[in-house]
Amino acid sequence: MIPGPTDLHPRVIDAMRRQMIDHRSEEFRELMRSLEERCKKVFETRNDVYVLTASGTGGVECAASNLVELGDKVLVPIAGVFGERMADAIEAYGGEVVRIELPIGEAPTPQIIKKSLEENPDVSIVGFPYNDTSTGTIARDLPGIIRACKEHGVLTVVDAVSILGGAKLPVDELGIDVCITGSQKCLAAPPGLALISFSEKALEKAEKKKKRPHYFDVVKYRKFLEERQETPFTPAVSLFFALDEALKIIVDEVGLDRWIERHQAGAAALYAAASELGVELFAKEDFRSPTVLAFKPPKNITDAQIRQVMLEKFRVRIAGGLAQFRGKMFRIANIGNVAGDRILKTIDALAQTLQQLTGNSRREEALEAAKRELDKRWPG
């Protein structure tokens, strides 16, 4: 129950057992056509989606290296570690970052973005994580944020690494210019692939860039995909097989809307249980992520103690904090192949762990609250 890599469906594991194929063959081109068709469906876009042999951070670097010219002013609201990482990537390519340091537990809002753009009229790009797993926060009014950016004529870069597939994210309907996700989160595939879509407007800026990256050149990726149904460089073939199988499960069998509903139901169950257990959340109520819950340890108890008991006694692995949040929180993820029984097992493990460490004995109340939410939102 960590924020990635997530557990894989047995079929996805089996897909990686296939023999290698020539990445300049018709067999590989068939695989690319299959991937592209389903990638567009999960992104809800008509634009090309490029599959990069890289982590989600590689996807963020792809966006920065293709869009940012020396001296470009880029607005980055920071709600946690991944906002900082995006800002660092933009600065590495010569961008001048306008950082908005948000209070802990909050995420970007349309009002904050609009005010910052009015104060910085020379900003040309706004980039931010839609969902930040380091603080368990989500920018809930994403449509309002994108509208505010469009009103000011700026490009938008959305890091959706930990949320695409876990919440509704219609890229074209919202008008997102660049959207990035990773294979190992809500798409329930192995780590090692980044998926990224570019609007025509974003591609035009990339084409005009004086110096694009060699490996992450999106213009090159577009040419190879559209003319040859290939990648410019050798891809991680086994991971492409696995992603294709994972997307078939999501798109063809479960259905994207139903897959998203599963994440929403799991989140509601976990939050209802947390309320009964009395554990304090990092995220304020209006910004609570549906894919990762970040908790403050109870007084006189460490996050390490909670994680150790849950793992050793109940065989449930959860995460600690990242970077400046290390030792200050424990995190429970609700990502990918996490059905209701695993949600309830995790809640039961947390309740018994807190009972052992603190004397809190609201296990039955927590489980009943969770079951009510699951029955209401995810019947059957």
What is this structure's pTM? 0.96
Instruction: Name the domain boundary from 233, 254, 275.
Output: 254
**Torsional sign, CA 90, 95, 101, 106:** negative
| Same-domain pairing of 277 and 240 | no
Mean of pLDDT over the chain? 97
- 190 and 337 assigned to the same domain: no
Q: CA separation (Å) from 96 to 18, 69, 91, 152, 193?
A: 46, 10, 6, 18, 28
CATH of the domain at 325: 3.90.1150.10
Confidence of residue 380 (pLDDT cuts 50, 70, 90): low
Q: What is the pLDDT of residues 40-73, one digit of tens each?
A: 999 999 999 999 999 999 999 999 999 999 999 9
Residues 277 and 146 in one domain: no
For 254-285, what is each residue's pLDDT tens digit? 999 999 999 999 999 999 999 999 999 999 99
In a domain, 2, yes or no: no
Query: 121 in a domain, yes or no?
Result: yes
* Residues 241 and 147 grouped into a single domain: yes
Give yes or no: residues 267 and 346 share one domain.
yes
Residue 75's pLDDT is: 98
- Spatial separation of the C-alpha atoms in residues 76 and 99, rounded to whole Å: 5
Domain with 151, as residue range(s), is: 10-254
Reported as a single tens digit per residue, the pLDDT across 136-151 is 999 999 999 999 999 9
Does the pLDDT of residue 82 top 90, yes or no? yes
Q: Which residues pair with 195 in a beta bridge?
A: 51, 181
Q: Tell me: the pLDDT tens digits for 92-108?
A: 999 999 999 999 999 99
| Residue 209 Cα distances to 58, 93, 163, 232, 281, angstroms | 19, 12, 29, 19, 43
Using the 3D structure, point to which of 231, 254, 277 is the last residue of a domain: 254
Shared domain for 118 and 199, answered yes or no, is: yes
Q: What is the number of structural domains in the chain? A: 2
- How many CB atoms lie under 10 A from the CB of residue 156? 24
What confidence tier does 377 reach under pLDDT thresholds 50, 70, 90?
Answer: confident
Distance (Å, rounded) from C-alpha 270 to C-alpha 39? 29
Domain closes at, from 224, 254, 284? 254
Same-domain check for residues 215 and 278: no
Summarize the confidence of residues 31-35 as an average pLDDT: 98
* 108 and 80 in a common domain: yes
The two tokens of residue 362 are 């609201």
Are residue 202 and residue 323 in the same domain, yes or no?
no
